[in-house]
Structure 1
Amino acid sequence: MAEQVTITRLGAKADGIADSESGPVFVPKALPGETVLIERDGSRADLVSVEAASSERVTPFCPYFDECGGCATQHMGHDFYQDWKRNTLAHTLRQARIDAPLDPLIDAHGEGRRRVTLHVRFPDRAMHVGYMAARSHQIVEIAFCPIAESTLKDQAPGIARAIGEHLRAAHKPLDVQITAVGTGFDVDVRGHGPLKDKDRLSLIDLAARLDLARLSIHGDVIVERRPPAISMGRASVVPPAGSFLQATRLGEETLAELVTEACRSTKRVADLFSGVGPFALRLAERSEVHAVETEKGAIAALDKAFRATLGLRRVSSEVRDLFRRPLLTPELNAFDAVVLDPPRAGAEAQAKQLALSKVPLVVSVSCDAATFARDAAILMGAGYRLERVVPVDQFKHTPHLEVVGILRREAPKKRW
């Protein structure tokens, strides 16, 4: 049964929040001050209609916004959206009792997402290709994705559909990750499992028909017709199939610029959780770098790119699980600066070792405000000063946010 409520505020995930006798009710795609009709399911609700709209409400530009779970904020006006996203980070820092200068939000969406993952499902013998609906495994079929780069937004659904048709005999749920690179599209398919030789050969033919740069299954390369190279500063990197990349080109460039600017005067930098080297290879234009990463393939790609690029300072590299084996104090003290870019879980173990070290500068890059604040608090408790926090919005139209924090060790006070 529908009921009418008034939205009082926004939550961290962009849901409107209405107060009720049983507690807060979370309403996706509703704005503060609005009167809305909802259908409740416990503390969650579906938005039925907006009875009295906020002046901050705008018309979403994507025709799939109402059903698709990919974007959450297209109904917000630009200034309202930016204030909400920055204020969400400010609130997280306050909760962690962190008082630090917070920069304005940087829009790093650029040309759009350079990678999308489309889901291919066969629930009723028919094939469904698209994104998941919010809080659901139901597929919202799409013909295009307006938040992706121009070459990707129109072609990605067709590529996923062609691969799904080719593999439909197995009736397995597929996730098709498509990345726009300089030489075309790099495609990695998950969910199918090992292929028979005849299926591999047929996929090679399909990759040629689709003109893919590379096609892989679970990271196992089926065919590489052209190296799917990505520029990182002066270097050109061929990432392992399906490996991590920043969501947008401008996002990566923005984060790298903040990191390299902070490390401008350093001679030796440790780049921890380095991935394929978006920071290390740019830092090496001025400083010696030691890159550490868990994934062997990522380190191999970074090392190969370094060796093929003229004019870089020395880049050493190491495969190491920094969650289980963080760099210890004697190792850390060899560096003028440490860059951290961990997964969403953060770098608590490494932060505790840094807190014991003499490293003068730490640049922390995070995709999770809560773990960023936790790790920063560890360092601040050991004498580091968080001199700058920069929110970088490369996940535009979602609640996700990149954060860059610059921490310097306070010089000990002289005793006279």
Structure 2
Amino acid sequence: MTEITIKRLGLQGDGVADGPIYVPLTLPGEVVEGTIDGTVLRDPKIIRPSDRRVAAPCRHFKSCGGCQLQHADDAFVAAWKVEVVRKALEAQGVETVFRPIQTSPPRSRRRAGFAARRTKKGAMVGFHGRASDTIIAIPDCQLLDPVVLAGVPAAEALAVIGASRKTALSVLVTTTKTGLDVAVTHGKPLDGPLRQQLAAVCDQFGLARLSWDAEVVAMQSPPVHMLDGAQVTPPPGAFLQATAHGEAALTHAVQEIVQDARQVIDLFAGCGTFSLPLARRAEVHAVEGDAEMVAALDQGWRMAQGLKTVTTEARDLFRRPLMPDEMRKAQAVVLDPPRAGAEAQIAELARSEIPRIAYVSCNPVTFARDAQTLVNAGFTLDWVQVVDQFRWSAHVELAASFTASHMRG
């Protein structure tokens, strides 16, 4: 047995000792012993715990792989997430002001991707175990909205009729104003009998919509999400913010950055998370690569009351970023790219005369890379607001305010 001291947490939330040696579920300052296997400490035993260690609030924590940080107190997790962003920026030579972190409450996640496997006696539904293909049932999950957990029986029924014995279904369950929206992937090929069975499950459990490998097979009523009063029905499996709290925190930050801009461009706009609220005060041009999400955004705008004009464009911003001359009439740009960031688009924003940029990110490393490009081009990173809507995980989200040099002073 080898005894080591944990020096820090890595980006995945694991404890890291000199070597580096990685030890899950540990905290800085803790002394642990176990057997070193390459870069991992196997069968770790904590010899001296950290004073930041707490009893996990969820009884599934040790076996379930859904959370990484329930063994640390809330203040530690909050400070660590802010520090992850700060260090990513420091690595790029960028400094800024950090606002207090906004953390979503327990039991507030409004969507979950369950694994559902058919068994000899029925089905098993839950999350995969830590570093395992085993499915762990999570009836007392402290992360998910209880309405999402109520979708587990429907997922079990879907696995019984639609899963092969070799492959687990992926069942994405999302709360909406009209009921649960359920999107299934990795299921059996659709045929007539399976379609009938799936429709019966939709009816039995009162699902708003049921899709199978992106095809809608049954719908009792369109699943509706409210975006500042506008009703939007996203395509199956579409990106949405994880919690209502997180969405509100990010939207508030974006609105503050945009200020009184009369014309705004929303890049990577999705289904209109920011476009539609911003249209209360500004004309918005929303650009998104997924044509179905663009259509959902446009329909939501057309059905809403009291919004200014929202124009839409389906465009791959990685291959065809908006050019400076296409942005010349806007007073602000909002962008919310995927984890890869927006390197090509940021290069064009750096050459533009856009006064203000609201950057929403789910990856501190690619955000810091893009921030350096903007700062080198003369923008100031005014402040960063970290938003923790993936509570107890290593995932970090943020909103950041950039101002062009001619707007300062």
TM-score range, shorter chain: over 0.9
Paired with 2:202 and 2:230, the residues of 1 have a C-alpha distance of 27
Q: Is the 8 A contact 1:366 1:403 kept in 2?
A: yes
For residue 381 of structure 1, report the CA deviation from its aligned partner.
Answer: 0.9
Q: Is the 8 A contact 2:118 2:159 kept in 1?
A: no
Paired with 1:335 and 1:413, the residues of 2 have a C-alpha distance of 18
Q: Which residue of 1 aligns with 2:181?
A: 186
Q: Secondary structure at the match of 2:100?
A: coil
Q: Secondary structure at the match of 1:65?
A: coil
Paired with 1:38 and 1:162, the residues of 2 have a C-alpha distance of 42
Q: Which residue of 2 aligns with 1:140?
A: 136
Deviations 1:340-374 (A, max 9, x none): 10000000000000111111111100000011111
For residue 311 of structure 1, report the CA deviation from its aligned partner.
Answer: 0.7
Deviations 1:375-406 (A, max 9, x none): 11111111111111111111110111111111
Q: Secondary structure at the match of 1:103?
A: strand
Q: Is 1:284 aligned to residue 279 of structure 2?
A: yes
Q: Which residue of 2 aligns with 1:401?
A: 396
Q: Kindly tell me the number of residue pairs found equivalent between the two proteins.
A: 409
For residue 152 of structure 1, report the CA deviation from its aligned partner.
Answer: 1.8
Q: Is the 8 A contact 1:70 1:131 kept in 2?
A: yes
Q: Is 1:314 aligned to residue 313 of structure 2?
A: no
Q: Which amino acid aligns with 1:35?
A: V
Alignment of 1:55-134 (within 5 A): 55-109=51-105, 111-121=107-117, 127-134=123-130
Paired with 1:42 and 1:50, the residues of 2 have a C-alpha distance of 20
Q: Which amino acid aligns with 1:322?
A: L
Q: Which amino acid aligns with 1:34?
A: E
Paired with 1:75 and 1:110, the residues of 2 have a C-alpha distance of 15
Q: Is 1:6 aligned to residue 22 of structure 2?
A: no
For residue 85 of structure 1, report the CA deviation from its aligned partner.
Answer: 1.4
Q: Is the 8 A contact 1:114 1:247 kept in 2?
A: yes
Q: Which residue of 1 aligns with 2:215?
A: 220
Alignment of 1:331-342 (within 5 A): 331-342=326-337
Paired with 2:186 and 2:140, the residues of 1 have a C-alpha distance of 23
Paired with 2:408 and 2:20, the residues of 1 have a C-alpha distance of 49
Paired with 2:341 and 2:221, the residues of 1 have a C-alpha distance of 35
My pick for the range that moved more, 34-43 or 326-335, is 34-43
Structure-1-length-normalised TM-score:
0.94
Find the partner of 2:26 among 27, 30, 39.
30
Paired with 1:177 and 1:46, the residues of 2 have a C-alpha distance of 33
Q: Is the 8 A contact 2:163 2:188 kept in 1?
A: no
Q: Is 1:151 aligned to residue 147 of structure 2?
A: yes
Q: Is the 8 A contact 1:36 1:51 kept in 2?
A: yes
My pick for the range that moved more, 117-126 or 217-226, is 117-126
Q: Which amino acid aligns with 2:231?
A: S
Q: Secondary structure at the match of 1:5?
A: strand
Q: Is the 8 A contact 1:290 1:316 kept in 2?
A: yes
Percent identity of paired positions between Structure 1 and Structure 2: 38
Deviations 1:165-192 (A, max 9, x none): 1214565321000001111110000001
Q: Which amino acid aligns with 1:401?
A: V
Q: Which amino acid aligns with 1:199?
A: L
- RMSD of the alignment, in Å? 1.9
My pick for the range that moved more, 128-137 or 289-298, is 128-137
Paired with 1:122 and 1:149, the residues of 2 have a C-alpha distance of 25
Unmatched runs of 5 consecutive residues or more in structure 1: none
Unmatched runs of 5 consecutive residues or more in structure 2: none
Q: Is the 8 A contact 2:59 2:140 kept in 1?
A: no
Q: Which amino acid aligns with 1:7?
A: I
